Structure 1
């Protein structure tokens, strides 16, 4: 069997590693996070509409919905990528997009509480 190098410098057999249930756990984590973002967005919408829908509040609500949709697209792409037999690593661009959407939701959610 051919041997390969591991990242820590040790040598291993050339077999593919068995990912076990790790891709399934990752898929479920993305789904839970998407659900949590949906709840946060709906609570922000409820707070905005309950507190009076002035133009500034409606702009904030629109930004919340856009941030949630961007996170939903990012999460859905990652969930589909996890279906591969050997899922690719999360790209830095996708990670930055997810973090940006999460921070935007947090900041916009705080803005709805003004």
Structure 2
């Protein structure tokens, strides 16, 4: 059946809910990784590299959390917008920066 204007009616089923849950799981995993990186910095002692890595982890965690919250909120509407490639690129960049900051903490921190 076709709706007026040529659009087919949308039946999202549970897909938006599954996507919201996936974003929440990803945020939880990202938070755990950031906390483990912070723990590593504290246990090894605060050095300039450790402070830089810890600050980077905190900033990237905050940015990732804001991005995921916006996406989860957008998925709550009746007809959620498609995620833009810009949002996806930022999410990937955040993950890569967190990995680099963790490597900075592990390899350049005091032993």
TM-score with structure 1 setting the length: 0.86
1-side partners of 2:101 and 2:8: how far apart?
47
Post-superposition offset of 1:92: 1.5
Question: Which runs of 5 or more structure 2 residues have no equivalent in the other structure?
Answer: none
* CA displacement 1:7-66 (0-9 Å, x = unmatched): xxxxxxx33220100000000000000000100000000000101111221111100110
CA distance in 2, matches of 1:56, 1:106: 15
Partner of 1:72: 65
The reply to whether residue 27 of structure 1 matches residue 29 of structure 2 is: no
The structure that is helix-richer by fraction is 2
> Does 1 or 2 have the higher relative contact order (CA < 8 Å, sep 6+)?
2
Residue by residue over 1:72-105, the C-alpha shift from the partner in whole angstroms, topping out at 9 and shown as x without a partner, is 0000000000001111000111111111101111
In the alignment, the residues of structure 2 paired with residue 21 and residue 109 of structure 1 have an alpha-carbon distance, to the nearest angstrom, of 36
Matches of residues 31-42 of structure 1 in structure 2 within 5 Å?
A: 31-42=24-35
Instruction: Name the structure 2 match of 1:48.
Output: 41
| Count of matched residue pairs | 105
Give every structure 1 segment of 4 or more consecutive aligned residues whose post-TM-superposition deviation is greater than 6 Å: none
Q: Which residue of 2 aligns with 1:62?
A: 55
Gaps of 5+ in 1: 5-13
Q: Secondary structure at the match of 1:113?
A: helix
Residue 83 (structure 1) aligned with residue 76 (structure 2) = yes
